[in-house]
């Protein structure tokens, strides 16, 4: 009997102590972490959206933790302890089959894109393996008053009727758009030095240093989900860049301007696009933007004069001046 007590009881006592030390006490202490500056609780609708996210297991493919590693910089700044103050259940996740979503509201602010992507990810990203969430939508003969149908491209759309989001989809998109990392005062991204180290205003008059491979890569990473790798966009939602007047114009100023500042509700080639073009001024460096522009100006049959990082820098300075 004594032996049994020693083995079962003794080991359990040891384990209980370790559990308190390694599980319970860190749990209690870290639960008290105060919210970081600018970290706000969700609105009721966004909170509902978060529940849809949890119920459908988005976090088995999407992390919400940006690590302090160079490769994670594309997803935003590193996640800080204060970011998690209102996050119960936590959604850090352990697998990144899809991109990190900590800052998706800033990276992809277009609600229309989010609806199309959720209804059928392959309608905007043909190579995607993300499951479709068409069960969060309804197909109706006619959209009720005040509800805009989702502009699903032809091959993906139902044969009859139009697609409208259910309340769950509306809440989920509200949640996704709320995912914006508040800036941490005084935080300097460690890699910030890298892209801008390529001197923005290189020797004037020098031949534009256009790195075609880099341009294609940057376009794929930042623009293709809307304008598509083919440059043809999605009819009626995202404008084509192939044969686009702004891209073919000899003067790249307008093109630079759109990429820096984004665009919404403008009239492009007689169409008002419901999609929204995000601003890239705080995401891409001058050299990167010039590379993307030159990619667009030399692809899909486009032939127009190249832009230089200096052009981008000049436009950026002008915009700053106007502010």
Partner 1 sequence: MQDIAAAAQPSLSPEDTRALRTVFNVYTICAALWLVFATFIGVILAFKFVYPEFWAHAGWLTFGRLRPIHTNDTFYAWASIGLVGIAYYVAARSSRTRLYSPMLAWIGLGLFNIAAIAGTVALDLGINDGTLEYREWIWPIRLVFLAALLVTAWNLIATVARRNTQGIYLSNWYTIGGVLWTCIISIVAIVPWYQYGLGQVAVSGFFMHNAVGLWFTPMALGILYYAIPKLFSRPIYSYALGVFAFWTNLIFYPIIGSHHFLFSPLPWWLQTIAIVFSVAMLVPVWAGSANYLLTMRGRPERLYRSPAMFILVGVLGYLIGSSQGTAEAFRSMQQIWHLTNFTVGHSHLTMYGFITFVIWGGVYGLLPRITGKQANNLLMGIHFWWATVGMIIYVLALSIGGTVQGLDWIHGLPFIDSVVNMAPYWLWRAIGGSMMFASHLLFLWNVWFMTYGKRQPKAFAVASTGVTA
Using alpha carbons, select from 107, 67, 65, 73 the residue that is nearest to residue 90. 65
x-or-dash string of contact with partner 1, 10-49, rule CB under 8 A = -xx-xxx-xx--xxx-xxxxxxxx----------------
Q: How far is the CB of 59 from partner 1 (least distance, A)?
A: 5
How do beta strands 267-268 and 162-165 pair? unpaired
Q: Is 238 exposed, middle or buried (0-12, 13-18, 19+ CB in 10 A)?
A: buried
Q: How far is the CB of 321 from partner 1 (least distance, A)?
A: 32
Examine residue 68 and tell whether it contacts partner 1 (CB under 8 A): yes
187 binds, among ligand HEC, partner 1, none (CB under 5 to 8 A by kind): none
Q: In the set 91, 150, 169, 263, which binds ligand HEC (CB under 6 A)?
A: 263
Examine residue 211 and tell whether it contacts partner 1 (CB under 8 A): no
x-or-dash string of contact with ligand HEC, 172-211, rule CB under 6 A = x---x-----------------------------------
**Cβ proximity to ligand HEC, 35 vs 138, nearer residue:** 138
Examine residue 119 and tell whether it contacts ligand HEC (CB under 6 A): no
Examine residue 170 and tell whether it contacts ligand HEC (CB under 6 A): no
Rounded Cα–Cα distance for residues 78 and 190 (Å): 10
DSSP 164: E
Using alpha carbons, select from 269, 262, 175 the residue that is nearest to residue 226. 262
Rounded Cα–Cα distance for residues 254 and 247 (Å): 9
Examine residue 135 and tell whether it contacts partner 1 (CB under 8 A): yes
Rounded Cα–Cα distance for residues 123 and 132 (Å): 10
Rounded Cα–Cα distance for residues 282 and 232 (Å): 26
Please state, in angstroms and as integers, the Cα–Cα distance from residue 284 to each residue in 78, 222, 231, 239, 321, following that order: 18, 9, 20, 21, 19
User: Which residues of the chain form contacts with ligand HEC (CB under 6 A)?
Assistant: 53, 56-58, 60-62, 97-99, 101, 104, 107-108, 110, 113, 121, 125, 128-131, 133, 172, 176, 222-223, 225-227, 238-239, 241, 244-247, 255, 258-259, 263-266, 268, 273, 275-278, 280, 292
């Amino acid at each position: 009997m004594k032996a049994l007590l020693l083995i079962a009881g003794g080991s359990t006592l040891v384990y209980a102590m370790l559990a308190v030390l390694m599980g319970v006490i860190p749990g209690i202490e870290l639960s008290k972490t105060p919210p970081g500056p600018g970290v706000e609780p969700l609105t009721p609708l966004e909170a509902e959206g978060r529940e849809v996210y949890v119920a459908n297991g988005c976090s088995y493919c999407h992390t919400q933790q940006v690590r302090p590693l160079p490769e994670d910089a594309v997803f935003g700044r590193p996640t800080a302890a204060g970011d998690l103050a209102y996050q119960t259940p936590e959604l850090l996740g352990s697998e990144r089959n899809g991109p990190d979503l900590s800052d998706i509201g800033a990276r992809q602010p277009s609600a229309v894109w989010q609806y199309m992507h959720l209804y059928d990810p392959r309608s905007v990203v043909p190579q995607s393996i993300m499951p479709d969430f068409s069960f969060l939508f309804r197909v109706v003969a006619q959209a009720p008053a005040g509800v805009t149908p989702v502009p699903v491209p032809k091959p993906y759309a139902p044969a009859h009727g139009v697609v409208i989001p259910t309340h769950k989809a509306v809440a989920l998109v509200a949640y996704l758009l709320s995912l914006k990392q508040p800036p941490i005062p005084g935080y300097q991204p460690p890699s910030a030095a890298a892209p801008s180290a390529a001197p923005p205003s290189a020797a004037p008059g020098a031949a534009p240093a256009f790195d075609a491979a880099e341009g294609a890569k940057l376009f794929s990473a930042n623009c293709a989900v809307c304008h598509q790798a083919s440059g043809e966009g999605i009819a009626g939602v995202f404008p084509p860049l192939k044969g686009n007047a702004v891209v073919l114009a000899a003067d790249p100023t307008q093109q630079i301007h759109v990429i820096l500042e984004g665009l919404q509700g403008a009239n492009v080639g007689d169409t008002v696009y419901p999609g929204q073009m995000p601003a890239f001024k705080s995401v891409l460096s001058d050299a990167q933007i010039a590379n993307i522009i030159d990619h667009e100006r030399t692809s899909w049959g486009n032939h127009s004069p190249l832009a230089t990082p200096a052009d981008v820098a000049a436009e950026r300075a002008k915009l700053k001046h106007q502010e």
